[in-house]
Amino acid sequence: MDKGFRRIAFTIMGLTALTVISVGVYLWYNFNARSRLVLVIPETASWFVHVQTKLLRADFAKSSEQPQGIAMLGKTISELPIFKKVKDAGEPGIALYSDVVAFGLDEGTCLALSLTSEERFKEFLKALKKRNLVKGGIDKGKYFYVEFPNAKAYVAFKFKAIVVYKPSDTSADYKNAERAFDVVFAEKTHTMMQNKEVQALYENEPEVVFFARDKAFGLSQSIDFPEMGSAAGDSEHKYVKFAYPTLKASGVVSPLMLVSKSGLPVEVQKCIDPQNRMTAHTALDLMAKILNQSINEISQ
């Protein structure tokens, strides 16, 4: 798995498209979750992470504290070449508070965000092409995609979902990307959301869900954030809750287990207390810092 995208996948605070799916799948998920973006995850994905951004935003709406990582992330994104000439946040057509979904395929890794407007995003890509920040522009019917000229990565979109794809093989060409996008944007009659182990992860409406078919990718878990108050003293003692529905072994799993997969250097004593607990602000800070580090690596 590509190191940069692995970091994004294992923390984020974000693909496949919202394709034509069976009525049964659509109805089931409509009554059991808040975002349809996860419906784009192929049933064959080896792992996925889902960050419910709106829930996180609501949790921290009354907090007077801003984790350092959030400020760093905001600065990094605002300075990316693709956004430097954007005057209005809504101009690219990307949802400002989109959920973030990342998942792994045999071909590579995908990161998904929601679009508010396919047309605005297509115009945004045209502007980037004029600046030589992307190249190509292929309409495959099921999806439209372009390529980043200085990195082995591709961007495709359809049905209000944008997919950033990074091949596992750095020597792979556009044919590899098209094979991946064909899977991502294929008409689905079965999705990952029908997996009972996945359904168990969503039971308590957590803000972050991570699922892996194999423990080599990490341990399936969900992270539930508390609603933060405006008083600093109140927020300092609110901890995130980690749940491991598929874990059969006894014993306490450290909150830093997932963070360790990202490769981000952390000081354990500063991240968890003697009871092996992590505050909501610490968890959000770590998520933002890992994403920030990943973006810096990918954009170089």
Q: What is the pLDDT of residues 216-232, one digit of tens each?
A: 787 888 889 988 875 55
The DSSP bridge pattern shows strands 241-243 and 47-51 to be unpaired
pLDDT tens-digit series, residues 142-199: 999 999 887 678 999 988 899 889 888 877 888 999 999 999 998 877 778 888 889 8
CA gap 262, 284 in Å, rounded: 14
What string of pLDDT tens digits covers the 300 residues of the chain? Answer: 444 444 444 333 333 222 233 333 333 333 344 567 888 898 889 999 888 888 888 888 888 777 888 888 777 877 777 777 777 777 888 887 788 888 999 888 898 889 888 899 998 899 899 998 889 888 999 999 999 887 678 999 988 899 889 888 877 888 999 999 999 998 877 778 888 889 899 988 898 898 988 877 878 888 899 888 755 545 445 888 888 887 765 556 677 766 666 667 777 778 888 888 888 888 888 888 877 776 666 555
Percent helix, strand, coil in the chain, to 5, is 35, 20, 45
Other C-beta atoms lying within 10 Å of the C-beta of residue 257: 13
For residues 49 and 192, the answer to whether their CB atoms sit within 8 Å is: no
At position 114, the amino acid (one-letter code) is S
156 contact partners, CB below 8 Å, separation of at least 6 = 17, 143, 144, 145, 162, 163, 165, 177, 181, 184, 185
CA gap 138, 182 in Å, rounded: 13
Nearest Cα to Cα of residue 45 among 155, 202, 156, 209: 209
